[in-house]
Amino acid sequence: MVKLEYIWLDGYQPTQSLRSKTKIERNFSGKLEDLPMWSFDGSSTRQAPGGSSDCLLKPVFMVKDPQRKDAYLVMCEVLEASGKPHASNGRATIEDDDNDFWFGFEQEYFLWSPDNNKPLGFPDGGYPNPQGQYYCSVGANNAFGRDIVEEHLDVCLAAGLNVEGINAEVAAGQWEFQIFAKGAKEAGDQIWIARYLLERIGEKYGVSINWHCKPLGTLDWNGSGMHANFSNTLLRTAGNKVVYDKVCEAFRPVVREHIDVYGADNHLRLTGLHETASIHDFSYGVSDRGASIRIPVATVEKGWKGYLEDRRPNSAADPYKVAARIIKTVKSVAV
């Protein structure tokens, strides 16, 4: 007998939220393909009208749940009752069936205190020291919420998620984890499961997770991104700068299409300040963290064989939709 936590994305706009419920299965084989479809009330998640409220959950990714006995975490796609992908289902729009696209997402977030409605480390009556001392920091005056972050890392690794690392970020109370997968769909699956685990750990500590890209508004503090590092066979084997220029230039005429799926309120974050390019511009450059797309110096040193980093997706963006749009643009390049 096992506990299966079916997890999905709701229909809220402009930012979807995680939902989940537990299914008890007897004699479960432990294989993803043997997981049954399930249903839920879409009228309670803005995914269906009350008069025809059934939506389906299609299991697509599964890992062990280290926080519960005899349990699994099951990421699901949402389908209409007819079996057609729901309009809220960004995963179904990814064209990467052969897993040629590899993605590494750098997920930033703030640990948020409900007591004063500020990040951890912010005093009730004001602000901590200006940012500068917090990035990759250590010490009680610099790093806030490390116990939550460490527990999250351990749980993710125990679940089998491919976490590449963690670090304290530029602002007080801000952190980051990185996840990589060979295959766009699985990269998105792993990010969403990791977000779910972080939210659930936050419940234990009475701390919420703030995914908004600029929760401190216009104050002189960094926002949060979800930088998308990506490659396909073309980028991994290019061997010359011309190919990389062509790929980067393919992004220029579709800036709006990318921004539309790179997370709500990104105009607050993409200002040209705080290690961002302006939302009104498009640029790329080697080792340039102020560009829209950064060409890592390691890619150049390896003879123009490697990956690119789109720095525009924000922390609340749906990794499925981000990956789908990047793939569409890269596939448009003729070489």
pLDDT per residue as tens digits for the range 172-194 = 999 999 999 999 999 999 999 99
Whole domain around residue 69: which residue ranges? Answer: 2-88
* Listed residues 40, 64, 88: the one ending a domain: 88
* Listed residues 32, 54, 88: the one ending a domain: 88
- 25 and 47 together in one domain: yes
Q: Which amino acid type is present at position 35? A: L
pLDDT of residue 281: 92
pLDDT above 90 (res 218): no
Residue 110 falls within a domain, yes or no?
yes
Question: How confident is the model over 318-332, as a mean pLDDT?
Answer: 98
Question: How confident is the model over 34-47, as a mean pLDDT?
Answer: 97
- Each residue of 88-103: pLDDT tens digit? 999 999 999 999 999 9
Residue 95 falls within a domain, yes or no?
no
Question: How confident is the model over 109-128, as a mean pLDDT?
Answer: 94
pLDDT of residue 320: 98
Question: How confident is the model over 279-283, as a mean pLDDT?
Answer: 94
- 16 and 123 together in one domain: no
Residue 96 falls within a domain, yes or no?
no
The region of weakest confidence among 50-59, 204-213, 216-225, 248-257 is: 216-225
- 307 and 218 together in one domain: yes
pLDDT tier at 12, thresholds 50, 70, 90:
very high
- 199 and 312 together in one domain: yes
Residue 281 falls within a domain, yes or no?
yes
Question: How confident is the model over 131-147, as a mean pLDDT?
Answer: 97
pLDDT of residue 160: 98
- 307 and 161 together in one domain: yes
Q: Are 70 and 1 in contact (CB under 8 A)?
A: yes
- Each residue of 44-89: pLDDT tens digit? 999 999 888 999 999 999 999 999 999 999 999 999 999 999 999 9
How far apart are the C-alpha atoms of 122 and 128, rounded to whole Å?
A: 6
- 139 and 79 together in one domain: no
- 122 and 62 together in one domain: no
pLDDT tier at 334, thresholds 50, 70, 90:
confident
Residue 266 falls within a domain, yes or no?
yes
pLDDT above 80 (res 274): no
Q: Which amino acid type is present at position 2? A: V
pLDDT of residue 125: 83
Residues 6 or more apart in contact with residue 141 via CB below 8 angstroms: 133
pLDDT of residue 269: 95
- 198 and 56 together in one domain: no
How far apart are the C-alpha atoms of 335 and 326, rounded to whole Å?
A: 17
- 84 and 124 together in one domain: no
Question: How confident is the model over 284-300, as a mean pLDDT?
Answer: 96
pLDDT above 80 (res 256): yes
Question: Among 161, 169, 167, which residue's Cα sits nearest to residue 192?
Answer: 161
pLDDT of residue 126: 86
The alpha-carbon radius of gyration of the chain (Å, integer) is: 20
What is the percent of the chain with per-residue pLDDT over 90, rounded to a whole number?
95
Residue 14 falls within a domain, yes or no?
yes
Residue 97 falls within a domain, yes or no?
no
Q: Which amino acid type is present at position 201? A: I
Residue 94 falls within a domain, yes or no?
no
| Residue 29: CATH number of its domain | 3.10.20.70
pLDDT above 90 (res 39): yes
- 13 and 80 together in one domain: yes
DSSP code string of 63-88 = EE-TTSTTEEEEEEEEE-TTSPBPTT
- 324 and 186 together in one domain: yes
- 183 and 314 together in one domain: yes
* Listed residues 32, 58, 88: the one ending a domain: 88
The mean pLDDT of the chain is 96
| Residue 127: CATH number of its domain | 3.30.590.10
Q: Based on the structure, what is the number of domains in the chain?
A: 2
